[in-house]
Structure 1
Amino acid sequence: MQTFLKFQELIAFLPQDEPFRRDLVGHFYEQKGEVLTEENLKVRVNRLKAKGVIVNIGRGWYRLNNKRIFKPEITATVKKVNSKIRKNFPYLNYQLWSTQWLNQLLTLQLLKSITIVEVESGSEEAVFRNLKESFPYQTFLSPSDEEWANYIADKEETILVRSMISESPKELHQGIRTPKLEKLLVDLYCDRLWQLLFSAEMENIFRESCEKFAINFSTLLSYSARRGKRTEIWQYIKELHVLDSATIDLIER
């Protein structure tokens, strides 16, 4: 009960509609008679983020969270693929996600499902062959446009094995390594396959994401830069008019 009340006091103390630095969080606890080291403050801030009280919006900048945290529903196929990879490749760096996760961002719901397995460069072939043992008619390795059109597009459920870009934003979700929403947005914008599949919905995907979910734009733009699209994607987001001027100014400093 005391923890809840302190959170409520903190929320009342912090700016309601403006970004703030983490030092302001430390100042709140100092007023309560607590002396925090840098490490203590880092732990407090991370705890507030984990509880969804505050969110990152840029490097070292936060806002009170008035939006939802993106929490996708883990599909049965993602669970099966994850178990198989963990068993056979225990030290592999990988991420899993499903196009079904995009339904909360789309106007028209997807009836077909694609599970994407992104693995560190050099391991694609081994993972592909291993998954094909359990999913012989569903698993494909980095298909070309022609392969997609001829063999995959009409399938109800597909598993795609692809190479993962280094330092891709990721997190643990229900014990499974998944990409962050920031990475999904950038990949949807950059990858030719997703452009073909979601071109009519791309604007709506970005708009719904920015309006409904907490997004760390520092993470999004950093990953965009790794894909060579930082300026282009940032301009695309700004032209949607879903961000307030204070946020835009902060990110562009």
Structure 2
Amino acid sequence: MGVYDRIMNLASGMQQFSVDSMPTDLFPDIERAKLSWYLGKLCRMGKLRRVGRGIYTIQSANTFLVKANAKVRSLYRSLLRQYPFADFCIYSANVITPLLHNMMPNNTIYVETNRDTTQSVFDMLQPKYKGRLFLAPTKEIATTYIDFSKENIIVKPLVTEAPLTCDGKVPVPTLEKLLVDTRVDADYYYLHGIENQEMMRTAISHYDVNINRLLRYADRRNAKDSILKDLETINNDTERML
């Protein structure tokens, strides 16, 4: 049996594995460094998936889908009519519920747009949503005045080169963007700390996370070091379980 077949047979019987956990008697003729090369080749072929530093699995990952509900779609259409050339990212915060360790209701709709359009968009929405519309709130404003269980709207600047995708025609955030924004933004203060670390762990364990995209965006938001630290912790915990 060839090396690739031996590796795939081993992988099929394990949830996750590392080079060090691979039995030496199964690969007596291959050095550890060479095994790493074979594993990398299988990842590039799409046969294996790397889930951490030196950690592999044969299991396919789920794609985290951000769905735009009816209210989000209606709001986006209204904005697009008024600002056809502006960039937007719009979503309901309840899309992050599958990532949460503790259930914390947030029914807020987030509207992110170009920095020079933010105030104008806020002013346009003010008559209809007065009393539940907020412009880039600070932590103090968020903790004092925003009841996240209600349907608020938060308007704030869209970070340039933020990773976005689309649900139909509606521009929505990628999983990587959500993982960074919930760590950094003041209006997500209630997720900072342990909860955000658990969100990262859940995302890595259950969904396909583009690590390069995650780190690029984290770097733009000055969160790269903290995210790297969490990724290292997750990787070390996984290795101890093998």
Task: Please report the TM-score for the alignment, with normalisation by the length of structure 2.
Answer: 0.71
**Structure 1 pair 65/152, CA: closer, same or farther in 2 (3 Å)?**
same
User: Who is 2:105 aligned against?
Assistant: 111
Match for residue 181 of structure 1 among 175, 178, 192: 175
Question: What per-residue deviation string (whole Å, max 9, x for no partner) do you get for residues 3-51 of structure 1?
Answer: xxxxxxxxx9xx98844489758xxxxxxxxxxxxxxxxxxxxxxxxxx
Identity %: 21
SS at match of 1:177: strand
User: Who is 1:84 aligned against?
Assistant: 78
**Structure 1 pair 55/72, CA: closer, same or farther in 2 (3 Å)?**
farther
Q: Which one-letter code corresponds to 1:208 in the other structure?
A: T
**Structure 1 pair 233/133, CA: closer, same or farther in 2 (3 Å)?**
same
1:101 aligns with 2:114: no
- Give the deviation of 1:194 after TM superposition: 1.5
Q: Which one-letter code corresponds to 2:114 in the other structure?
A: E
**Structure 1 pair 83/110, CA: closer, same or farther in 2 (3 Å)?**
farther
Partner Cα separation in structure 2 for residue 187 and residue 70 of structure 1: 16
Q: Which one-letter code corresponds to 2:166 in the other structure?
A: L
Partner Cα separation in structure 2 for residue 55 and residue 131 of structure 1: 45
User: Who is 1:141 aligned against?
Assistant: 135
Partner Cα separation in structure 2 for residue 171 and residue 71 of structure 1: 9
Partner Cα separation in structure 2 for residue 96 and residue 54 of structure 1: 34
Question: What per-residue deviation string (whole Å, max 9, x for no partner) do you get for residues 204-246 of structure 1?
Answer: 211111100001000001111112222321111221238867x
Q: Which one-letter code corresponds to 2:199 in the other structure?
A: I
Match for residue 227 of structure 2 among 233, 236, 249: 233
Between Structure 1 and Structure 2, whose CA radius of gyration is higher?
2
Q: Which one-letter code corresponds to 1:161 in the other structure?
A: V
Q: How does 1:1-253 map to 2 (within 5 A)?
A: 18-20=39-41, 24=45, 66-153=60-147, 156-241=150-235
SS at match of 2:235: coil
- Count of aligned pairs: 202
Q: Which runs of 5+ in 2 are unaligned?
A: 1-7, 18-38
- Give the deviation of 1:128 after TM superposition: 0.7
Q: Which one-letter code corresponds to 2:79 in the other structure?
A: I
Aligned CA RMSD, in angstroms, stands at 3.1
Partner Cα separation in structure 2 for residue 99 and residue 23 of structure 1: 34
Q: Is the 8 A contact 2:68 2:172 kept in 1?
A: no
Partner Cα separation in structure 2 for residue 213 and residue 23 of structure 1: 18
